[in-house]
Amino acid sequence: MWRTIFSLPLLVIAFLLLEPTADARHFSNDKKSNALGTKDLVINLPGQPRVNFRHYAGYVTVDEKNGRSLFYWFYEAETLPDEKPLVLWLNGGPGCSSVGYGATQEIGPFLVEAGGRGLKFNPYSWNREANLLFLESPVGVGYSYSKTSTDYDNLGDNFTAHDAYAFLHKWFLKFPSYRKRIFYIAGESYAGKYVPELAEVVHDKNADPSLFINLKGILLGNPETSDADDWKGLVDYAWSHAVVSDETHKTIKESCDFYSNDTWSNVDCSDAVDEVLKQYKEIDIYSLYTSVCIGNSALSEVKSLQIMVKSGSSMMPRILGGYDPCLDNYTSYYYNRADVQKALHVSDGHRLRNWKICNMTIFDGWSDSKESILPIYKKLIAAGLRIWVYSGDTDGRVPVLSTRYSLSSLGLRITRPWMPWYHQKQVGGWLQEYEGLTFATFRGAGHAVPTFKPSESLAFFSSFLSGETPPVQR
């Protein structure tokens, strides 16, 4: 999704060029206690910039009998990793890779370069503030797999949450120094369901002290939350941003009841919503005001923009793409390289795994999706967990209107009224605080906010970790 390289001051560039490669001098004091994870230490990753922190990649088997193994990539914090929290990041889809998007297009320390030739350093990586753990979930996503074919027939929200929970406990066996670390779960898009669902499992299981995970909160970006509110927001946003005509919007208003159980039985409604999706095919629904990929590269393996829709389903449309949809192709090329897979402990460099940024078969076969996770919000708020939700305001996929409709449905008391928040003396967006929840927008950002506003998102992430409101004065 990256379209341009950051403009860096000369002093920063000089610093990056002089950075040493990772070696024992920079390792944390927990190396011995994390001995089981040592075999997953990543070295000689092709095209990797030199850094002074360790990172690990490999598999955790979550079901020995069926042979279900989930792939992870873990980056220690740039500084003081022993003192900083652990954050698990999940991307959605369902069926899309947290490694391909979150780790190497958004918030990780390495971003895939054009052409898939290598990686470049991300000066706004979130591992400046926390230890970052990326998980490809469920099985069938990215490098994650199962040796039992029937597992792929049972994929859904509940299956994914419980496998992710099993992953965490198995991962802590590899890295026991993080077992009692302050822990957060973050994600975007369909992970708007994954993240609260996993948080609920953690919360419920924490009743057993032997299973305790020190979960403090969740962070959600442009999240799918409530199907009815998400659909209503999608069509209203399309109309208010001149994507569809007054007539189409009028038909939807008159014929679509997104809160009913038979929304799509109304032909006028279905046809009008199809018209919205048809118009969105002409632009990037993830980012209304940026260009789509017009590619002729030999690397291209996905169409410039692909809408993932289940006809007649309440589930939201999925669209492959982002700020620069062409970068999805470069990412796919990079992760299918033999030398990359060997460095990440995925293969021996000869028998390769077929890595895709999004697995359409998983989406098509998704068997369990909660219509709304708002009841989970209420449960987590009552438990005292920190919940922050943010929304890029140029995203048409899960637009700011969808999120506002969903949060309004909660009926929470407002504790801080709608106001701008600032970053480097400029308006970063607007925010409103509720009893138990903070909501903020990012001005001019699309679906994957850190792609569009890397500096702002890092500052916002830092505020989330500290529990402090982003600056509301210049």
* Residue-wise pLDDT tens digits, 116-136: 889 999 999 999 999 999 999
Confidence of residue 349 (pLDDT cuts 50, 70, 90): confident
For the question of residue 395 being annotated catalytic, the response is yes
Q: Place 31 in a pLDDT band, splitting at 50, 70 and 90.
A: low
Q: What is the 3-state secondary structure (H, E, C) of 405-448?
A: HHHHHHCCCEEEEEEEEEECCEEEEEEEEECCEEEEEECCCCCC
pLDDT surpasses 90 at 290: no
* Residue 225, phi then psi, degrees to nearest 5: -130, -55
**What digits encode the pLDDT tens for the residues 214-244?**
999 999 999 999 999 999 999 999 999 999 9
For residue 390, what are its two tokens? 């943010």
Helix/strand/coil (H/E/C) assignment for every residue in the chain = CCCCCCCCCHHHHHHHHHCCCCCHHHCCCCCCCCHHHHHHECCCCCCCCCCCCCEEEEEEEEECCCCEEEEEEEECCCCCCCCCCEEEEECCCCCECCHHHHHHHHCCCEEECHHHCCEEECCCCHHHCCEEEEEECCCCCCCCEECCHHHHHCCCHHHHHHHHHHHHHHHHHHCHHHCCCCEEEEEECCHHHHHHHHHHHHHHHCCCHHHCCCEEEEEEECCCCEHHHHHHHHHHHHHHCCCCCHHHHHHHHHHCCCCCCCHHHCHHHHHHHHHHHHHHCCCCCCCCCCCCCCCCCCCCCCCCCEEECCCCCCCCCEEECCCCCHHHHHHHHHHCCHHHHHHCCCCCCCCCCCCCCECHHHHHCCCCCCCECHHHHHHHHHCCCEEEEEEECCCCCCCHHHHHHHHHHHCCCEEEEEEEEEECCEEEEEEEEECCEEEEEECCCCCCHHHHCHHHHHHHHHHHHHCCCCCCCC
- The catalytic residue among 137, 189, 406, 457 is 189
- Tokens 């390792």 — which residue? 27
Question: Per-residue confidence at 304, pLDDT binned at 50, 70, 90?
Answer: very low
Beta carbons of 188 and 397 less than 8 angstroms apart: no
Instruction: Evaluate if residue 439 carries a pLDDT over 60.
Output: yes
Which of these is catalytic: 55, 69, 447, 457?
447
Band (303; pLDDT cuts 50, 70, 90)? very low
For the cut 70, the answer to whether the pLDDT of residue 53 exceeds it is: yes
The share of the chain scoring above pLDDT 70, in percent, equals 86
Instruction: Tell me, yes or no, if 33 is annotated catalytic.
Output: no
Is 447 a residue of the active site?
A: yes
Mean pLDDT rounded to a whole number for the chain: 88
Query: Of 230, 395, 423, 457, which one is the catalytic site residue?
Result: 395
User: How far is residue 445's CA from residue 94's CA, in Å, rounded to a whole number?
Assistant: 22
Quick one: tokens of 233? 């927001």
Distance CA 62, CA 166 (A): 6
- Helices 227-240 and 400-410 pack at an angle, to 10 degrees, of 140
Instruction: Express each pLDDT in 359-393 by its tens digit.
Output: 999 998 898 999 999 999 999 999 999 999 999 99
Q: Is the pLDDT score of 453 beyond 50?
A: yes
